[in-house]
Structure 1
Amino acid sequence: MVDPANTPLGKMLLEEITPVVMVLCTPLVEESCLKNGLSFVQMLSPFCDFTNIDVPVRTASDQPYRLHKFKLRLFYASDIWQPNLEVAKERLKQVITKAGEDDFPEISSDLPQVNDLLSRHESEILPTWFQFFNKELVRTLSFSDHEAFDHPVACLLVVSSCDEEPINRFLDLFNTNKLPSLLNDGAMDPKILKHYLLVHDNQDGASEKSLGLLFNKMLRDVVFGG
């Protein structure tokens, strides 16, 4: 029997129905990351996929369950919104058209026989545009106010050591009008779990002592005092 996790649908579900972490960061954080050609979210994403783990989980019915895979999805706060229906339809149309155009050179007049198709694995006979369509479809349906699959379970606030008044920047990041409408309109729990990250680029040349003082102040005023 085929493992459901290895089917196209199973892989998509494992990929898309996972906890979301909302990211709020300062422009200087992005500038530091872009020196490597990556955004902050792109840089952190490879570290959000956990395999070969064995973690006990407490379920609602207290049934024993162990987690062997786990993944987080990171989204900037500015990306946590649901697109307009007409915009979503047009985007899906573009995705299918683009995928079809990319495949056109590979179209052959020698069509496979039915028996040959039936003997192939499902992933081998699905049109290549299908996975792109599925991914985009899930994206257009994300972040609705009537379901909580994509509502962030935590918020990561990220400040650069080069930011002016870094501690105040931490405090200001969450108190901004750039928060998702889900949170501002009350559809999402405002008492979201917060994690704080201080990013330092060694090229900026700050001393270890000054960084240590900043880190201790961050712990005192933000993590334990905020």
Structure 2
Amino acid sequence: MSPRLRALVTASAISAAATAGYLTARHSLRAELSTVRHAATHDPLTGICNRAGLSAAADTLIRTAHTSTRPVAVVLVDLVGFKKVNDTHGHDAGDHILTAVASRLTGIAGPAGLAARLGGDEFAVITTGPATRHHDADIWLADWLTHIHTRLTTPVSYHARPLAVGATLGAALADPAHSAAVWLHRADLAMYVARANRRTTAVFTATTDTPAMATADRPRDLARPTSPLAAAPTTRRAA
């Protein structure tokens, strides 16, 4: 091989190695960025969206679902008796319940919906109904809430032992006329109505959003403030 040909081969090999190295580095960087984005928008314990993930996707999801003539429900879920599980059976049991609830909510949300853990034992789910039920969405949502509550409160098996799961649900029918934060706030008000009336579920109505409910420090808020996503800007919350 002539010196000139040898130089060309060497240069070609160096160029190929540099290109391969660049492509590998770019692929690695993309993978790292994807991992960072996922960690920023998902709950590390349950694997479903966190508050940031819900905030980023909710408005688009509601708008898309609503334009398909399907009713859209925003539901807040607050587990009942969760602290007792932690105190009695340990935090591993509590984590097991949180993971089971997240899995159930993911199934309830379906491919067109979204489930999120807002923090602690509070969850949210955005789900859609059948297109043919848009005209009687209120009836659909009331029935759907009962179905969700039944699925969520089925005892969870932990080390061959059934653990009780309690939950209170508040819901609102959503549309693109308002942001997701407004619908979450209204679902939160409905949840308060359910708690105040010792019920397991409640749906937001026009009479739910009274000045007293919107401005008062409610017992649930004093015990544990709800997610910032569920708080309207004008609502006064406990510190």
Instruction: Give the structure-2-normalised TM-score.
Output: 0.23
**Which protein has the bigger helix share?**
2
Q: Please identify the structure whose Cα radius of gyration is greater.
A: 2
Q: Which has the higher contact order (CA 8 A, sep 6+)?
A: 1
